[in-house]
Amino acid sequence: MPLVTTKEMFKKAYEGGYAIGAFNVNNMEIVQAITEACKEEKAPVILQVSKGARAYANHTYLVKLVEAAVKECPEIPIALHLDHGPDFETCKACIDGGFTSVMIDGSSLPYEENVALTKKVVEYAHAHGVVVEGELGTLAGIEDEVKVADGSASYTRPEEVEDFVTRTGVDSLAIAIGTSHGAYKFKPGTKPQLRFDILEEVTKRLPGFPIVLHGSSSVPQEYVEMINTHGGKMPGAIGVPEDQLREAARSAVCKINIDSDLRLAMTGTIRKFFDEHPDKFDPREYLKPARANIKELVRHKLVDVLGCAGKA
Ligand code: G3H
Ligand code: 13P
Ligand code: ZN
């Protein structure tokens, strides 16, 4: 099947009590690892591309890699999404350039400016058959080149969501309930806890509307240890507990963004490989196990966290 939008995926996910995995892609091995796992587990998937990914790999290369995955996996629905679109021009370039979904991230703007920018993107996207994700509330951590300090992160205000969705016409809404980007989400020694009360309030005000969670990596300690054992230094890297993500996936949350976990799997595997084989220098030899470990990690997410295995 050709690339799809997220419309149908979200409808089924909402009704079925599961979430779709949105995984960031930057190169061929990552695209292959994700889509092979999804194909084997019969899971719909969102492949997402950030501004940084477009700068690194080039828009055309990424679109062509995703088109190759679509050809190799005709039996599963795949959406191509712009992650954290920073402005109208970037969203337009992706809408014109083959994406089926874009995010316009106006979350750091004053409310009225976020509404105006998001509405402008929605009008253009909808006229071209593309769906739009907006965001209310800000997450701590690093979003592309924008670093949001812990103190400036703010939870989504449920009293704003109806007005925002109605006035902008967005198809899904990313909210801030305590997740954050990167590998250091919670302070060591504190209990990681998402604000399910905010999610519940939002859901009451937007019944049936798809909610998105960013910053949802769980930072597998297996890979943090692998990195630290083989020359890396990532003390105190902590993610969102998987049982809390599973709980979110059962609710109105239809899209869960995972990037850092894949990076950790790739980096850990490659560090270990080099440590154990200091004489090797063929990139295929170290990218192969890295790709295999990302694939198994994605499989675990589909089956045990998102609940979307078998839903394609
Ligand atoms: O939320 C951001 C994603 O993890 C993408 O990261 O901007 O480094 O590509 P990036
Ligand atoms: P993580 O850093 O938790 O993987 O979040 C990824 C994300 O939200 C991409 O938009
Ligand atoms: Zn994000």
pLDDT digits (tens, 9 = 90+) for 138-169: 987 654 444 555 555 799 999 999 999 999 99
Cβ within 8 Å of residue 204, ≥6 positions away? 158
Q: Which of 133-137, 141-145, 186-190 has the lowest mean pLDDT?
A: 141-145
Instruction: Judge whether 261 counts as a catalytic residue.
Output: no
- Does the beta carbon of 260 sit less than 6 angstroms from any atom of ligand 2? yes
Instruction: Say what the pLDDT of residue 139 is.
Output: 87
Q: Decide if 295 contacts 250 (C-beta within 8 A).
A: no
For residue 24, give the ligand 2 atom closest to its CA. Answer: 9
Q: Decide if 196 contacts 158 (C-beta within 8 A).
A: no
Q: Which residue lies with its CA nearest to atom 1 of ligand 2?
A: 215
- Does the beta carbon of 52 sit less than 6 angstroms from any atom of ligand 1? yes
Entry pTM: 0.96
Report the residue among 259, 260, 262, 263 best suited for mutation to probe ligand 1: largest number of ligand atoms under 8 A from its CB: 259
Q: Which residue lies with its CA nearest to atom 9 of ligand 1?
A: 52
Cβ within 8 Å of residue 286, ≥6 positions away? 269, 270, 273, 274, 277, 280
Amino acid at 292: A
Q: Decide if 25 contacts 66 (C-beta within 8 A).
A: yes
150 versus 216: the higher-pLDDT residue is 216
Instruction: Say what the pLDDT of residue 144 is.
Output: 43
CA–centroid distance, residue 204 to ligand 1 (Å): 30
Q: Which residue lies with its CA nearest to atom 9 of ligand 2?
A: 257
63/40 Cα distance (integer angstroms): 22
Amino acid at 54: R
For residue 136, what are the β-bridge partners? 175
Give all domains of the chain, ordered by start, each with its CATH number. 7-218+237-259+299-306 (3.20.20.70)
Count Cβ atoms within 10 A of the Cβ of residue 71 and give its class: 0-12 exposed, 13-18 middle, 19 or more buried.
exposed
Tokens 């030899």, residue located = 285
23 versus 141: the higher-pLDDT residue is 23
Residues 42-67, mean pLDDT to the nearest whole number: 98
Examine the pLDDT at 221 and tell me if it is beyond 80: yes
CA dihedral 62, 239, 35, 16 (to 10 degrees): -120
- Does the beta carbon of 215 sit less than 6 angstroms from any atom of ligand 2? yes
Instruction: Say what the pLDDT of residue 145 is.
Output: 46
Q: Which ligand is nearest to the CA of 182?
A: 2
Q: Decide if 299 contacts 37 (C-beta within 8 A).
A: yes
Q: Which ligand is nearest to the CA of 51?
A: 1
How remote is the C-alpha of 239 from its chain's centroid?
14
Average pLDDT along the chain: 96
Number of Cα atoms under 13 Å in the Cβ half of residue 297: 30
> Which ranges of 42-144 does DSSP label H, i.e. alpha helix?
51-57, 59-72, 88-96, 111-127
Q: Which residue lies with its CA nearest to atom 4 of ligand 1?
A: 259
CA–centroid distance, residue 52 to ligand 2 (Å): 13
Instruction: Say what the pLDDT of residue 152 is.
Output: 57
